Amino acid sequence: MHTGRYVMDLVRAAKARIMATQRNPDLTRQTLLQAAFQEIYKSGFQAASLDNILSKVGVTKGALYHHFGSKQALGYAVVDELIREHILDRWVRSLEKAENPIDGLLAILRRKDPHPSFDQRLGCPLNNLAQEMSPLDEGFRKRLEGVFRQWRQGIAKALRRGQERGQVRSDVDPLESADFFIAALEGSLSLAKNAQDTNVFDNCKAGLASYLKGLRTPDSS
């Protein structure tokens, strides 16, 4: 008796959420984006199922195509509005507030919450899409290149600011160091994904932390 009532309550709550989504176009669009991100992250863009996305959100294909003209447009929006914004928030905007760029980078590297939906077993959402779609779709390639470029430039700008403040060695090339850091970080995520072992990523992060500390001036150590 109680079990049946509990199930009915869950069904009613689910229907209420679906109706609320359907009545709010902005909420519908954002919910579709989040569901698409999860599906693409899990399966890759090409294998991502629109039916799975629609089932999670509880809307029709008509609602999907009202907000996104095609699966490709939905994928582009995931890059532009979710993945790009996460990278900028985590790595660029937070560094702009850091008093010392080395300390700022170390703090970000050591954070335990890389992404609300991040799973080390699945790798990096940005790198996964870059590996899959860059050779196949110019729209994806340009968008993903733009995210990487903003990430690289954000770190390089922070390192230049650190040089001006006497916190980063003057012989360090900021853009070269930013490129190396991002390449090493993304490579470590790929290694951990392949090994299905988070210890691999932890070991790589320790090596990256040592590299960052080596960029300091003696006075700022």
Q: Is the pLDDT of residue 192 over 80?
A: yes
Given this model, what pLDDT does residue 219 score? Answer: 81
Query: What domains sit in the chain, N to C, each tagged with a CATH number?
Result: 1-69 (no CATH), 71-221 (1.10.357.10)
Given this model, what pLDDT does residue 4 score? Answer: 52
What distance, in Å, lies between the first and last C-alpha atoms of the chain? 67
Q: Is the pLDDT of residue 186 over 70?
A: yes
Given this model, what pLDDT does residue 23 score? Answer: 56
Average model confidence (pLDDT) for the chain? 89
Tokens 């968008």 map to which residue?
143
Q: Is the pLDDT of residue 85 over 90?
A: yes
* DSSP character string of 85-110: HHHIIIIIIHHHT-SSHHHHHHHHHH
Of 151-160, 172-181, 195-204, least confident by mean pLDDT is 195-204
Using an 8 Å Cβ cutoff, are 178 and 87 in contact? no
Average pLDDT for 158-184: 97
Confidence of residue 100 (pLDDT cuts 50, 70, 90): very high
The larger pLDDT score, comparing residue 62 to residue 145, is at: 145
Given this model, what pLDDT does residue 10 score? Answer: 53
Tokens representing 137 are 């779709």
Q: Tell me phi and psi for residue 56, to 5 degrees.
A: -70, -35
Confidence of residue 220 (pLDDT cuts 50, 70, 90): confident
The span from the CA of 106 to the CA of 182, in Å, is 13
Using an 8 Å Cβ cutoff, are 130 and 148 in contact? yes
Given this model, what pLDDT does residue 26 score? Answer: 77
Given this model, what pLDDT does residue 1 score? Answer: 43
Given this model, what pLDDT does residue 120 score? Answer: 79
Integer Rg of the chain from CA? 21
